[in-house]
């Protein structure tokens, strides 16, 4: 419970700071929502009237705390660009970004843990060395560039999907999932390579400790020692990394959405920044910040479940 309360306090402070910094950024950047809507050739009178209508003439902290209070009660304001509720805009796109994030994370786990165990078990085999080299290469490729490669190979050459042919979950859920497999793979591959390397290193370190020799001396088989003792301890730092990875995927998926023309939070965020639609930007960034903190809280709880030494802290 102590950890939960600490995380809840961190949750509130982080959201406050993140949203405040976003408001400050829009104050410092030249232009505003009125200029973005009317254009740079608009008359000062027209700009003044529109700023009054949008509430942009109110003092900075009055606008900030008004938005913050409404946000925590579920009212995210109205989009300056589209004139509709920000909440309804984000609600329609949340399933897209959330599905992309979860699919990417599942791929990371499914790929990294088995490969990490196998490569550590056969560390001296040529295949293990080859996997290490491929992993190093994969880790060095940025996800957005990997997305371009995936689009070219699987879309243009193999014709396994139509680049830019996104199908909404409201139209055909099966095709929706099928299209997201490829951007999810582009996001997951570098993270899976990192997680594999970390797990392999952790397993090799654990195998050198005294408790492993003790387990063998008690008649345990190699398989029992690996899965009942070594892997249980070696997986702990990997879980921490996976938690960080999930948080990173939430942010990284915004870029991949642009590469694969996915109408999720990423495209909406970039469009809203260009239009100075800070009500939308503020809401998206606040939601991402909250998701990251919630993920970290879950990781901390899992860490203490798996490592009894931390429960008394």
pLDDT in tens, 102-137: 999 999 999 999 998 888 888 888 888 888 888 888
User: How far is it, in rounded angstroms, from Cα 235 to Cα 212?
Assistant: 15
The pTM assigned to this predicted structure is 0.81
- Counting Cα atoms < 13 Å in the Cβ hemisphere of 148 gives 4
Segment among 157-166, 285-294, 301-310 with least mean pLDDT: 301-310
**How high is the mean pLDDT of the chain?**
83
Spell out the domains of the chain, with CATH numbers in brackets. 86-310 (1.10.3720.10)
| Region of residue 31 (phi > 0: left; psi between -120 and 50: alpha; otherwise: beta) | left
How far does the chain reach from its first CA to its final CA, in angstroms?
11
CB distance 275 to 81 below 8 Å: yes
How far is C-alpha 54 from the chain's CA centre? Answer: 32
User: How far is it, in rounded angstroms, from Cα 38 to Cα 56?
Assistant: 14
CB distance 191 to 249 below 8 Å: yes
pLDDT band at 4 (very low <50, low <70, confident <90, very high): low
pLDDT (0 to 100) of residue 174: 92
- Integer-rounded Cα radius of gyration of the chain: 24
């Amino acid at each position: 419970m102590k950890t939960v309360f600490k995380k809840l306090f961190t949750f509130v402070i982080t959201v406050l700071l993140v949203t405040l910094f976003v408001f400050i950024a829009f104050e410092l950047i030249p232009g505003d929502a009125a200029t973005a809507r009317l254009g740079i050739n608009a008359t000062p009178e027209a700009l003044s009237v529109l700023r009054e209508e949008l509430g942009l003439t109110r003092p900075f902290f009055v606008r900030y705390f008004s938005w913050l209070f409404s946000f925590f009660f579920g009212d995210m304001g109205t989009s300056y660009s589209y004139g509709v509720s920000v909440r309804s805009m984000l609600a329609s796109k949340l399933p897209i970004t959330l599905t992309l994030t979860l699919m990417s994370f599942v791929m990371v786990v499914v790929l990294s843990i088995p490969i990490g165990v196998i490569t550590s078990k056969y560390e001296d085999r040529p295949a293990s060395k080859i996997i290490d080299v491929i992993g190093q290469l994969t880790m060095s490729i940025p996800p957005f560039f990997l997305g371009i490669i995936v689009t070219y190979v699987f879309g243009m050459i193999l014709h396994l999907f139509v680049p830019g042919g996104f199908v909404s979950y409201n139209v055909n859920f099966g095709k929706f999932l099928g299209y997201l497999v490829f951007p999810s793979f582009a996001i997951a591959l570098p993270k899976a390579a990192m997680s594999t390397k970390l797990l392999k290193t952790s397993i090799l370190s654990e195998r050198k400790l005294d408790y492993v020799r003790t387990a063998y001396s008690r008649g345990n088989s190699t398989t029992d020692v690996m899965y009942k003792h070594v892997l249980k301890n070696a997986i702990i730092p990997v879980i921490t990394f996976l938690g960080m990875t999930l948080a990173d995927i939430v942010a990284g998926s915004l870029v991949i959405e642009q590469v694969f023309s996915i109408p999720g939070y990423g495209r909406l965020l970039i469009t809203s920044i260009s239009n100075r639609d800070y009500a939308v930007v503020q809401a998206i960034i606040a939601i991402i910040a909250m998701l990251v903190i919630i993920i970290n809280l879950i990781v901390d709880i899992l860490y203490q479940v798996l490592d009894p030494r931390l429960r008394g802290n």
